[in-house]
């Protein structure tokens, strides 16, 4: 991992990262926290926070072994971050070990001067005894896999032969996948623009996604992508691109929906799938989200991409999709995309804070919301219509078991699962959104349901 923050002293980055990781452990979203970090420290803090959160379970366990009594919060948070950055793994530490220790001590002097010697002693002992301390700490599953114990057990139950691979995959860096705006430029032409800038890419091997997806050989800042500000391209994971392609029945240039089809994009924010719908088809589209502030992100996304394009009509409305009477005008939909709120357990490699923020009761509560959304929206679909249920989760309670229960509840109405439904896409090499030559897509669940 490279930290692009040469102008920011490392001790300041470590202090800011310690505060950030501590706030995550207190229940704050890393995305929200980053918006409050000073601009000069934001890039480095984000990079260090990502790495620290990927090794947080081990760092917390080993600190408990070395400290005879709990340190003050501002000291323990700094130590946890430093230990996580020194934790053995597939990647080398972001800085030389002696530099990390020295700068952590400097950060301690600035935060709690009396604790500087203690921080120095703990970190130097860890370097001397790292092998034995790590082995002892990893007797705890949370330290061994760097996920909460309940999460590990849930994966073990859902995926008895793959759970360990899934936990390992969650701690690797994700690829950077692009969605080329088909209304602006072809994938082949955009790939050539990347080549001209010295950036290699490859198209997706998944024919379901038509001709929109490219995977970069090396990630880069979004503003370095040619035409990003002009709406030529967006960043969107390969697995995430499945939902819209499945709803539209896209294969090559064909589309299952006629021009002007009435489509509901429920739970639309932040707008990636809303935009993808409009890039591929001319639609009468209603984008719905319960959070008015997040709905503004949908509007911003459409504005950057110059959507809606000619032939489409778009309405954005803030409402709870379950409360149909508050937003529906009585006209049935040809297609419904339900990208339901979920634990986001399939995208933890992109959002390493999620595993530490979620609680077992969240899964129960979110599964209930998903069930309510499915039952509320199904009656709004025309006979002959199609609905895609999607979650960025690898927990079966939010995927296969959820849709199996739905089909049982609505069997008398003829609800039918399309055989093209990919079901659970795991962040593993057999993910259909991937190929032997490409990194894996994120973990998702997609089901296409037909109404007779």
Dist CA 97 CA 11 (whole Å): 14
Ramachandran region of residue 234, left (φ > 0), alpha (ψ -120 to 50) or beta?
beta
3-state secondary structure 189-227: HHHHHHHHCCCCEEECCCHHHCCCEEEECCCCCHHHCCC
Q: Which helix (H) or strand (E) holds 265?
A: strand 261-266
Q: Is the separation of the CB atoms in 418 and 449 below 8 Å? A: yes
Give me the DSSP letters along 70-134. PPPHHHHHHHHHHHHHHS-SSS--SS-HHHHHHHHHHHHHHH-GGGHHHHHHHHHHHHHSHHHHH
Ordered alpha helix ranges (H), 230-359:
242-248, 272-280, 292-304, 354-357
Dist CA 388 CA 336 (whole Å): 6
Among candidate residues 18, 98, 107, the one with its CA nearest the CA of residue 59: 18
Residue 126 tokens read as 């860890």
Q: Which helix (H) or strand (E) holds 187?
A: helix 187-196
The dihedrals phi and psi of 317, each to the nearest 5 degrees, come to -140, 135
427 is annotated as an active-site residue? no
Residues 117, 22, 112: CA angle, nearest 5 degrees = 30
Among candidate residues 80, 172, 95, the one with its CA nearest the CA of residue 126: 80
Q: Which helix (H) or strand (E) holds 41?
A: helix 39-54
Q: Is the separation of the CB atoms in 305 and 232 below 8 Å? A: no
Residue 318 tokens read as 């803030």
Among candidate residues 315, 336, 311, 302, the one with its CA nearest the CA of residue 234: 302
Name the one residue in this structure whose structure tokens are 């993808």.
Answer: 276
Do β-strands 261-266 and 333-339 pair in parallel, antiparallel, or remain unpaired? Answer: parallel
Q: Is the separation of the CB atoms in 75 and 19 below 8 Å? A: no
Name the one residue in this structure whose structure tokens are 């090559």.
Answer: 252
Dist CA 132 CA 213 (whole Å): 46
From the candidates 255, 342, 392, 427, which is the catalytic residue?
392
Catalytic sites, residue numbers: 392
């Amino acid at each position: 991992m490279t930290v692009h923050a040469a102008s920011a002293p490392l001790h300041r980055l470590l202090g800011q990262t310690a505060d950030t990781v501590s706030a995550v452990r207190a229940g704050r979203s890393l995305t929200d926290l980053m918006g409050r970090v000073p601009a000069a420290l934001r890039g480095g803090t984000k990079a260090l926070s990502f790495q620290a959160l990927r090794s947080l379970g081990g760092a917390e366990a080993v600190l408990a072994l070395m400290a005879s009594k709990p340190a003050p919060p501002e000291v323990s948070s700094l130590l946890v971050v430093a230990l996580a950055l020194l934790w053995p793994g597939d990647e080398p530490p972001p800085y030389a070990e002696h530099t990390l220790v020295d700068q952590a001590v400097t950060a301690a002097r600035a935060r709690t001067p009396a604790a500087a010697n203690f921080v120095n002693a703990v970190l130097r002992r860890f370097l001397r005894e790292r092998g034995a301390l790590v082995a002892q700490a990893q007797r705890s599953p949370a330290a061994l896999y760097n996920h909460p114990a309940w999460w590990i057990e849930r994966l073990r139950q859902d995926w008895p032969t793959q759970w360990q691979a899934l936990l390992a995959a969650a701690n690797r860096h994700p690829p950077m996948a692009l969605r080329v705006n088909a209304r602006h430029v072809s994938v082949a032409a955009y790939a050539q623009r990347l080549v001209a800038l010295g950036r290699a890419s490859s198209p997706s091997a998944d024919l379901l996604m038509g001709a929109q997806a490219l995977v970069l050989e090396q990630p880069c800042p979004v503003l370095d992508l040619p035409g990003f500000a002009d709406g030529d391209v967006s960043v969107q994971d390969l697995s995430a691109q499945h939902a819209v392609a499945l709803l539209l029945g896209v294969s090559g240039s064909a589309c299952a929906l006629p021009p002007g089809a009435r489509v509901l994009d429920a739970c639309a924010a932040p707008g990636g799938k809303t935009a993808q719908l409009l890039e591929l088809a001319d639609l009468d589209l209603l984008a719905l989200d319960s959070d008015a502030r997040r709905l503004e992100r949908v509007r911003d996304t459409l504005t950057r991409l110059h959507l809606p394009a000619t032939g489409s009509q778009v309405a954005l409305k803030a409402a709870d999709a379950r409360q149909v009477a508050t937003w529906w005008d009585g006209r049935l939909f040809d297609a419904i995309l339900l990208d339901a709120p979920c634990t986001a357990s399939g995208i933890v490699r992109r959002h390493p804070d999620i595993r530490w923020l979620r609680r077992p009761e969240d899964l129960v509560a979110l599964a209930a919301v998903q069930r309510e959304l499915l039952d509320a929206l199904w009656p709004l679909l025309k006979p002959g219509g199609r609905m895609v249920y999607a979650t960025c989760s690898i927990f079966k309670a939010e995927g296969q078991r959820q849709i199996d229960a739905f089909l049982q509840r609505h069997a008398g109405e003829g609800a039918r699962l399309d055989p093209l439904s990919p079901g659970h896409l795991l962040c593993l090499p057999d993910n259909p959104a991937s190929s032997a030559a490409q990194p894996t897509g994120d973990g998702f669940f997609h089901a296409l349901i037909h109404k007779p």
